[in-house]
Amino acid sequence: MPRRAALVFTLLTLSSVLTGCSPGPVAVAVPSPAPEVADACTALIQAMPAKVLDAERRKTEPASALTTAYGDPPIEVTCGVLPPAGMAQAQSQCFEVNGVGWFAQEVTNGYVFTTIGRKVYLELAVPNKYKPEANALTDVSDAIKAHNTLITPCT
């Protein structure tokens, strides 16, 4: 019996070590958009790919139909955000990736990309670990084109 107890202890220890290695939910701020924006965002977030830059999709906390995340450190995706303040400036630039217009803001640990010219604003926060950070935009462009109506093309 001591041998069996040792085996059970080893298996439980290994299980807890392996469980500790998998990242838990990502804390992401949840916006409070109008109901029609929230509805559009729910469909868009559901359509997001299983992986971005080979990083697996993760749950967010609090759980929300407006957010998702990928990898560790997390690439955070938030739909229904307000347009970033810098986007209104005359010198702000729109660049296009696979038919989706984006506004980029460099932040301390990477970039925050926000869709431009679509029905709802979607934001991707991509940490420096994933350089070049803009490559993440390629992976999400199909979902955005299919579930976020184009209003004004990127110019």
Bridge partners of 67?
A: 78
How many CA atoms lie less than 13 Å away from 45 in the CB half-sphere? 29
If we measure between CA atoms, which residue out of 122, 145, 113, 130 comes closest to residue 53? 130
> Are the CB atoms for 81 and 67 separated by under 8 Å?
no
Write down the mean pLDDT value for the chain. 86
For residue 16, is pLDDT > 90? no
Q: What phi, psi does 84 have (nearest 5°)?
A: -65, 145
* Distances, alpha carbon 151 to alpha carbons 29, 56, 100, 130, in Å: 26, 31, 11, 30
For residue 17, is pLDDT > 50? no
What pLDDT, on a 0 to 100 scale, did the predictor assign at position 13?
A: 37
Q: Please indicate whether residue 17 or residue 140 has the higher confidence score (pLDDT).
A: 140
The answer to whether the predicted template modeling score (pTM) of the entire model surpasses 0.85 is no
The per-residue pLDDT for range 50-76, each reduced to its tens digit, is 999 999 999 999 999 999 999 999 999
For residue 15, is pLDDT > 80? no
The per-residue pLDDT for range 87-115, each reduced to its tens digit, is 776 556 889 999 999 999 999 999 999 99
